[in-house]
Amino acid sequence: MGKHVLLIEDEPNIIEAISFILSRDGWRVDTHSNGQTALAALRDKSPDMVILDVMLPGMSGYDILRGIRDDPATAELPVLMLTARGQIKDREMAERIGADKFMTKPFSNAEMLETVRAMVAG
């Protein structure tokens, strides 16, 4: 049935907006906003994909992504990285560590939906 996504982001109003549009699209959305406990939450919820903000309190999104890729259970999990900086080096960093997609803030809702759908379908 509905696919399951874990949104790791610390900005409450962004969480609310993304949760809303994804829920409307039929997704089950879990959210988490602390970097340090994000990996534990991920193991706990075992979602179909992760949306991960780069700038998080406690631990950077890059470190969390490394943790995801290092754990055999989540090594193949689709990860969409969000960042407020569209600089090439950020994107390269995300790709090197193993992000499947990379999205720059501010994104449009349509863009978000399209990307997330494509990532889990494909």
Partner 1 sequence: MPESALTGTRIRERRMARRMRQSELASRVGVSPSYLNLIEHNRRRIGGKLLIDIAAELEVEPSLLAEGAEAALIARLRSAAESAGEGAEMERAEDFAGRFPGWAQLIASQRRRIGALERAVETLNDRLAHDPHLAATLHEVLDTVTAIRSTAAILADTREIEPEWRDRFHRNINEDAQRLAEGAQALVGYLDAGGDAETEVTAPQEEVEAFFAARGYQLPELEEGRASAVEIVEAAEGLASASARAQAVALLERWAGDARAMPLSRVAEMVEEMGPDPLALAARMGGDIAMAMRRIAALPGREAGLLICDGSGMVTFRRAVEGFALPRFGAGCPLWPLYRALARPMVPLYERLGQAGRGGAGVERAFGAFAVAQPQGMPKLGKSPLYEAHMLILPDQEGGEALTTVGATCRVCSKPDCAARREPSIMTEGF
Indicate whether 106 belongs to the interface with partner 1 (CB under 8 A). Answer: yes
> Which range in 12-20, 26-34, 72-80, 92-100 contacts partner 1 by CB under 8 A?
12-20
**DSSP class of residue 72?**
T
Can you tell me which of 72, 88, 96, 108 binds partner 1, judged by CB under 8 A? Answer: 108
Question: Residue 47, preceding bond cis, omega within 30 degrees?
Answer: no
State both tokens at 101: 């997609």
Among positive and negative, which fits the CA dihedral 42, 45, 51, 55? negative
Among 37, 60, 74, 109, binds partner 1 (CB under 8 A): 109
Q: Among 4, 21, 30, 67, indicate the residue that binds partner 1 (CB under 8 A).
A: 21
